[in-house]
């Protein structure tokens, strides 16, 4: 089954957009961070503080592997760091159409201001951290993406419409290609 997978930096709106998109398309919605925190019964920050980032990354890989068994067609939102683990790429690709929610550093900084739920941005100089991380992450997100949309520059309704149309076009091409190789 081919799902829709949302990737992007923290603050790009993956969860909010994912929920709305799922509603609009009549699909289930799965948030990988949420799946992890409800299974661990701990917040992301507590998992980082108690067990460290490496452990959290292992939980992400386990969660995404488990999603290969998801029987409902779904919109799946993954944490900003999950695509940075190369071993996760094959799972992301197998899950379905990958949509990159791309936000400018300014948009992301504005949205993340005052946020305390992201351990990687904790402490001082958040803007600098965002800019640096975005530099290393953006090329990975772009390489993985089947579809890219800009966030922060248009109303939610328009954004959802753009994602739906672009995903449908990508899926059609995908099926045409896979039929021609049969």
Q: List residues binding ligand S3P (CB under 6 A).
A: 10, 14, 33, 44, 79-81, 118-120
Query: What's the gap between Cα 147 and its chain centre?
Result: 12
The candidate with the shortest Cα–Cα distance to 17, out of 1, 6, 28, is 6
Which residue lies nearer to ligand S3P by CB, 16 or 172?
Answer: 16
From the CB of 75, what's the least distance to ligand S3P, in Å? 14
- Rounded CA gap, 17 and 100, in Å? 12
Cα-based distances in Å from 174 to 49, 75, 80, 146? 42, 18, 25, 10
Question: Which of 78, 147 has the CB closer to ligand S3P?
Answer: 78
- Least distance in Å: CB of 10 to ligand S3P? 4
Min dist. Cβ of residue 166 to ligand S3P (A): 21
Q: How many Cβ atoms sit within 10 Å of the Cβ of residue 82?
A: 22
Q: Closer to ligand S3P at the Cβ: 1 or 156? A: 156
């Amino acid at each position: 089954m081919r799902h829709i997978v949302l990737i992007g930096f923290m603050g790009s709106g993956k969860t909010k957009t994912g929920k709305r998109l799922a509603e609009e398309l009549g699909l289930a919605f799965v948030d990988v961070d949420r799946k992890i925190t409800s299974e661990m019964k701990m917040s992301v920050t507590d998992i980082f503080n108690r067990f460290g980032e490496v452990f959290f990354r292992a939980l992400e890989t386990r969660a995404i592997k488990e999603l290969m068994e998801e029987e409902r067609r779904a919109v799946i939102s993954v944490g900003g760091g999950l695509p940075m683990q190369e071993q996760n790429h094959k799972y992301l690709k197998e899950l379905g159409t990958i949509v990159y929610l791309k936000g400018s550093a300014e948009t992301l900084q504005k949205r993340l201001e005052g946020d305390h739920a992201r351990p990687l941005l904790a402490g001082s100089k958040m803007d600098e951290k965002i800019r640096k991380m975005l530099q290393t992450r953006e090329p990975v997100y772009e390489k993985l993406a089947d579809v890219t949309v800009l966030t922060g520059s248009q109303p939610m309704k328009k954004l959802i419409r753009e994602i739906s149309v672009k995903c449908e076009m990508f899926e059609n091409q995908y099926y045409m290609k896979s039929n021609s190789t049969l």
